[in-house]
Amino acid sequence: MKKILPYISVIAIAAFVGNMLVIGFGFGTYWESLDPIIFQEQFTLQFPNLLPPTMGILLPALIATIAMVVNTKGQKSTRKNWIIALLGLVIACSITAIYHLPTNLGFMESRYSSEEATSKLNLWMTLHWVRTFIVFISAIYSVKAFASTQKNYNN
């Protein structure tokens, strides 16, 4: 299992980047094209379908990366890369928990006026691209960590 964890981490983080790109370029672009009230109705229908695959990708990324941070204790440079990869995931999750999830619930409850929904969606998209960029950086560091981990396993 120890040898498969770096693969799970790298693949899951890369998949999470892909998921974030699909949400931003696909759904986000579509949502921004809608009337704000229609958007909230559409979001209510679509968000519950986005959550399970997102969590199905994110949880293995988090668990495997945490395990790699633990497993590389004593391997300073390798562990540093795994920590940076994990930190990016944690930052992205924090942005999600602090802004996206409460705002999503507001969208689903049609709590916002047209002006508020537009403003909230604009900030939602901006923060979405911030977290996408951060997860992309995590992916880069997970690949660096993976390469170093493989060297350590082969020695």
The tens digit of pLDDT for each residue in 21-39 reads 999 999 999 999 999 999 9
The three-class DSSP label of residue 117 is helix
The tokens describing 80, both together, are: 């540093």
What's 34's DSSP letter? S
Buried b / exposed e along 38-58 (16+ C-beta atoms within 10 A): ebbebbeebeeeeeeebeebb
* Dihedral of alpha carbons 21, 27, 31, 32, sign: positive
Distance, in Å, from the CA atom of 114 to the CA atom of 88, rounded to the nearest integer, reads 33
DSSP secondary structure code for residue 109 in this structure: T
pLDDT in tens, 97-152: 999 999 999 999 999 999 999 999 999 999 999 999 999 999 999 999 999 887 76
Q: What is the phi/psi pair of residue 76, to 5°?
A: -50, -55
User: pLDDT grade, residue 3 (50/70/90)?
Assistant: confident
pLDDT at 70 over 80: yes
Burial tier of 69 (Cβ tally within 10 Å: 0-12, 13-18, 19+): buried
Per-chain mean pLDDT for the chain: 95
Estimate to the nearest angstrom the gap between the alpha carbon of 56 and the chain centroid.
11
**Cα–Cα distance measured from residue 114 to residue 34, given in angstroms and rounded to the nearest whole number:** 11
